[in-house]
Amino acid sequence: MSIGDIGLNWSFISAFLSIIVIDVILSGDNAVVIAMAVRSLPPDQRVKGIVFGSGAAALLRVLLTFFVARLLQISFLKLVGGVLILWVAVKLLTDGVHEETSRQEAGDFAHAIKIILVADATMSLDNMLAIAGASHGNLFLLLFGLGLSIPFIMFTSGLLSMLMDKYPIIIYIGAAILGKVSGEMIVTDPVVYNYLHPSDTAVYIVEAAFAAAVIVIGKLWIHFKKRGGHQ
């Protein structure tokens, strides 16, 4: 991989614009995780959590991008990642709703960062592959794409965390989005995909089912936690 041409030729401009679009579209899922994770922190720690979470996540992306094409071919990697995201979605949903109803003490900063890193490392595989492909081996474009994702994620996650305070329904929407990501990762894992050969419609159905499953599992978890607390 070389630095590559940095000029006003069409190939460079096309790749440059493609990377911007990829970042805008694919950074949303990561922003949802960060917003939900830092929401349990005290207001004075939220910005710090967003900055640390986004920065650490970006560093992970830089390290993993150079191996992402091979990583995505490892059997069961996306399957395991999908299961992890499913757990993260349910955990963030139950924590967020529980905080709304019981006004529990603010969450732990280190715990929030850990959730952000686990989720971002698994969800960013497709994002990194798209940026690596769009850069066409141009190291400048690759690093530009990775760097550009940081302000996108920071701004979006900060906005979402504030909106979640005002409109708690966004917590459920965010959890459903993560459930959709989980379903997509599981059904497109190389082993699962080659075994089932799902159509595009089947993939959409799985994504919708996982989005709904996160809400159902989360509500049941909250119900049983409440019952256990009253006993």
Q: What is the pLDDT of residues 128-142, one digit of tens each?
A: 666 766 666 677 777
Residue 65 pLDDT exceeds 70 = no
Q: Is residue 87 part of a domain?
A: yes
Q: Is the Cα dihedral 55, 163, 118, 99 positive or negative? A: positive
The answer, as to whether pTM is greater than 0.75, is: no
Residue 195 pLDDT exceeds 70 = yes
Full residue range of the structural domain in which residue 214 is found: 10-226
Q: Is residue 124 part of a domain?
A: yes
Beta-bridged to residue 138, according to DSSP, are 2
What is the separation, in whole angstroms, between the first and last Cα of the chain? 62
What is the DSSP secondary structure assignment for residue 27, as one 8-state letter?
T
For helices 28-38 and 10-26, what crossing angle results, to 10°?
40
Residue 103 pLDDT exceeds 50 = no
Q: Is residue 204 part of a domain?
A: yes
What is the DSSP secondary structure assignment for residue 230, as one 8-state letter?
H
Q: Is the Cα dihedral 157, 171, 118, 190 positive or negative? A: negative
Number of domains in the chain: 1
Q: How confident is the model at residue 49 (pLDDT cuts 50, 70, 90)?
A: confident
